[in-house]
Amino acid sequence: MIRFANTYASVLWLGIPVLILLFFMADSLRRRALERIGDSRFIRRTILMFEPARRRWKRLFLLLGYSFFVLAAMRPQVGTKLEKVKREGIDIVFALDVSKSMLAEDLRPNRLANAKNEIRAFLEHQTDDRVALVVFAGGAYLMCPLTIDYGAFLMFLESADPSVVSSPGTDLARALEVSATAFVDSAPRYKAVILITDGEQNAPGDPVEVAKKLAQQGIRVFTIGIGTPGGAPIPIRDESGNIIGYQKDETGAIVTSKLDEALLTQIAEVTGGKYFPARRGGSEISGILDEIDKMGKKEYEEVVFSQYDDRFYYPLTLAIIFLWLYWVFPERKSRLPQS
């Protein structure tokens, strides 16, 4: 297993587009300077002995050298020692709504950001439960299987947004079905699904009927309602993040996305779970933790990497090689010896 010990260095990847921009700017300035003297193409090829392909190679070496330098700065580490550890906890699947309605801003900055905060707050209080992540909109899929590696789980959580599920809409029934498949233990105990959504079901399936099937499997569903009953419009943003309009229906009216607390309460209650409305400060998390503690704990074995060794010197070596090639590779053709 590979991990990066210094993820903060990933900001250095922004240097790649900066370098490319500088290449274009340098070409433009050089071309203008030569045009003031005469035919720039003639001067470059006959007097300066310039070879465009060689410059492209040099730039490629520079970009590769920089890229491997960034990888080295991020300190890649490889797990070298596996260890079995015994833990006590339960299996929890977070089913996260990433439909476009979760971009509504009745909870600042938006519903999806608040939903992610709920999950982070939960993990801050738990250490031994195995967790999984299901993301859903009009479809659903398992994004992170059950794990005790909360760092890896949070990496998947950060990348969850409306773009990861192509099917539009919100299908709570499908979300519950996929969540049920995430459990690897057939024992009908110690299993919980935490469904985090605004509850706007607009797909053919019946989430309450699916919830009843989960209850028969010993799975309890806790629901967290994200949003407000009064609702809010769904913003449409440009590439810069500026709001350029709001989502409209077939008649041209602005769509108002509302929290459906009644449905979420019904889903939770048929499984023996509870519904919690999201509130600022995360007070609902303590309520869910109390309910989960009542479910008891099971003992299980987990194989984990207990030792990681640095491997930064591999990309660092490649960075040095490519930067050396950039330094020594000629940009101009060699002049032929005069007779």
pTM: 0.67
Burial code (b: 16+ CB inside 10 Å, e: under 16) for 293-311 equals eeeeeeebebeeeeebeeb
Question: What are the domain boundaries of the chain?
Answer: 2-75+312-328, 84-301
Amino acid identity of 105? Answer: E
pLDDT by residue for the chain (339 residues), tens digit each?
678 888 889 899 999 999 999 999 988 887 777 667 655 555 555 545 567 788 889 999 999 999 999 999 999 988 666 666 676 789 999 999 999 999 999 998 999 999 999 999 899 887 789 999 999 999 999 999 999 889 889 999 999 999 999 898 999 999 999 999 999 887 778 999 999 999 888 888 899 999 999 999 999 999 999 999 899 999 998 888 888 999 888 888 998 999 999 999 999 999 999 999 987 655 677 888 888 888 888 776 666 656 778 899 999 999 999 999 999 988 766 554 444
Q: Where are the beta strands (DSSP E) in the chain?
A: 2-4, 76-89, 91-97, 130-136, 140-147, 191-197, 219-225, 232-233, 235-237, 243-246, 256-257, 275-277, 298-310
Cβ atoms of 91 and 146 within 8 Å: the answer is yes
Nearest CA to 76 out of 315, 323, 321 is that of 315
pLDDT for residue 48: 53
Q: Which residues pair with 299 in a beta bridge?
A: 88
Compute the distance between CA of residue 69 and CA of residue 78 in angstroms, rounded to an integer: 18
Q: Which CATH class is domain 84-301?
A: alpha beta
pLDDT for residue 154: 93
> CA-CA distances (angstroms) from residue 175 to 122, 187, 195, 269?
20, 21, 8, 17
Terminal C-alpha separation, the chain: 63
> Which residues contact residue 191 at a Cβ distance below 8 angstroms, ignoring those fewer than 6 apart?
90, 91, 93, 183, 185, 217, 218, 219, 220
The C-alpha R_g of the chain, in whole angstroms, comes to 28
Nearest CA to 82 out of 1, 5, 185 is that of 1
Compute the distance between CA of residue 10 and CA of residue 54 in angstroms, rounded to an integer: 30
Which of helix, strand or coil describes residue 166?
Answer: coil
ω into 145 cis (within 30 of 0): no
Question: Can you give 68-101 as a three-state secondary structure string?
Answer: HHHHHHCCEEEEEEEEEEEEEECEEEEEEECCHH
pLDDT for residue 308: 75
pLDDT for residue 46: 52
Nearest CA to 146 out of 163, 129, 161 is that of 129
Nearest CA to 23 out of 65, 50, 71, 58 is that of 58
Compute the distance between CA of residue 227 and CA of residue 4 in angstroms, rounded to an integer: 35
